[in-house]
Amino acid sequence: MSVIGYELPQGATGFHLWQVLVTGEIRVRTVDWVTPLPPGLDADYSTPDGDVYVSEVLLPLSCDRCSSTEGHIGQGRWDDQLTLTCSRCGTGWVARWAGLSDEAETEASRQLLRQIVVQSGSAPYTVPGDRVREIRDDLQAGRWTPSRADQTLARELLLAVSGDPGPEAIARCMAATLPDRPLRSARFSEALARTVGLLRDPGAGIGAEPERSLVLDVVMDLARTVAAMDPAALRTEPEAAADTP
């Protein structure tokens, strides 16, 4: 694969933890093994299995759990491999894909993280919790209306997270309400996925611990607000495109 060099955004350090929401698909070039052989093509006996046709394709990275290919939170420090968190179910995984050697795959994953960071135009002085605070502030300012599905999830969170304030409890609640996901608010899903990603981050970046507990406080504050709202004031239809950021 060709290697494009990406430059660390000005003002950022290698310790900075980036978190970027990619609303569309993240497509990667990979090798596809197609069986049986398409008509008219000769078998390629250079592969371990001669009746397998090998081609290069672009495939979207998909969630290990719910197969979603969109709305992933990309995360990592500049020299890390790309870690993804699914904004539907909270599942996290390190982006790797078939057809490359371990070494090449590690480098490709690192380059993909850098590409996502650079193309997002994220400012180096923002911290992962800034967006979660913005989502809470948007709710308080009436810029989005939670749905009844959000309220169900918020109530589940208050019960689950009070006993277990870790990322897996939040992710379990997100996964448990997957059937309602089309009715969830994009902002609420994003806030939860960002929090899950941050809480899972093993890095010891400067200020990481206080930021983690602050962000957990903000997201639980958001959940309490949504849980306490009058159901009559909540959205019952899927979010209009104009409401999604």
Binding site for Zn ion (CB under 5 A): 63, 65-66, 68, 86, 88-89, 91
**How far apart are CB 189 and Zn ion at their closest, in Å?**
10
What does the CA dihedral 126, 116, 93, 150 come to, rounded to 10 degrees?
60
116's tokens: 């996502």
SS3 of 24, please? strand
89 vs 222, beta carbon nearer Zn ion = 89
Write down the least CB distance from residue 92 to Zn ion, Å: 10
Q: What is the DSSP string of 111-176?
A: HHHHHHHHHHT--TT--HHHHHHHHHHHHHTTSS--BHHHHHHHHHHHHHHHH--SHHHHHHHHHH
Nearer to Zn ion, 66 or 158 (CB): 66
In angstroms, give the least distance from the CB of 179 to Zn ion.
13
Residue indicated by tokens 């209306």: 145
Q: Which is nearer to Zn ion, 68 or 147 (CB)?
A: 68
| Residues facing 59 on adjacent strands | 28
Nearer to Zn ion, 27 or 224 (CB): 27
Residue 12 or 66 with smaller CB distance to Zn ion? 66
- Nearest approach, Cβ of residue 96 and Zn ion (Å): 16
Structure tokens at 211: 């930021």
Angle between helix axes 167-176 and 148-163 (nearest 10 degrees) is: 150
Interatomic CA distance for residues 198 and 117, integer angstroms = 16
210-232 burial, b at 16+ Cβ within 10 Å, e below that, comes to ebbebbbebbbebbeebbebeee
Question: In the complex with Zn ion, which residue's Cβ is closer, 91 or 109?
Answer: 91
Give, as one character, the DSSP assignment of residue 15: T
- Rank residues 65 and 155 by Cβ distance to Zn ion and give the closer one: 65
- Nearest approach in angstroms of CB 94 to Zn ion is 15
CB 235 → Zn ion: shortest distance, Å? Answer: 22
